[in-house]
Amino acid sequence: VSNAGVGMAGPLECQSLAAMQSLMDTNFFGLVRLVKEVLPDMKRRRGGHIVVISSIMGLQGIVFNDIYAASKFAVEGFCESLVVQALRFNVAISLVEPGPVTTDFESKLYEEAERADYSRTDPETANIFTNLYLRNSKDVFASLGQTPEDIAEHTLRVIEAARPPFRHQTNAAYTPMAALKHADPSGALMTDAFYKLVFKYDAVLRLSLR
């Protein structure tokens, strides 16, 4: 089970390349290093199961999560490319894709975001992040967040499955969001829906979550 991960949220201009590279080294290359270690023996034995804790943000980018989403997109692409070869050797690969999970991981991330310096971006972007994104994120976690125990139960079901699924989303509330990308190959439907959700109907969003 590959579960190592770090988070990053905020305006792109305020994040250093060194921090981005460190995140990718953990979230993506950490998985690659693990798979390189275990896959050869699994192939020799013609049996095994690699379970990767991904994220719904590996399927759908979220505003102000550019680098974190990029790392999870990389995880998804890596596993999607590898799974067919692995199946030839009777090795299963499963991606567990949670939405928000209420843990110290997230609380520390948002505490740091509230204290961060946003002088390297323009005032409008800083205001959108601090007064729209952070506020809405708290409501999302309070309303839709799962517990770590819930994610563990989902992961256990994937591990014990007679035919392990390649992808398993843990939160049904995010299924329509992921489906928007496939409903319109041009991307216009998804982009328009998220723009309106963030900038036009944020008050409705917060009210519905509460």
Question: What is residue 35's three-state secondary structure?
Answer: helix
110 is a catalytic site residue: no
The C-alpha atoms of residue 104 and residue 12 are separated, in whole angstroms, by: 23
Nearest 5°: the CA angle 58, 54, 24 is 75
Of these residues, 68, 118, 174, 195, which one is catalytic?
68
Please give the sequence-ordered ranges of beta strands (E in DSSP) within 43-183, or none if there are none: 48-53, 91-97, 167-169
164 Cα distance to chain centroid: 20
Please give the positions annotated as active site: 68
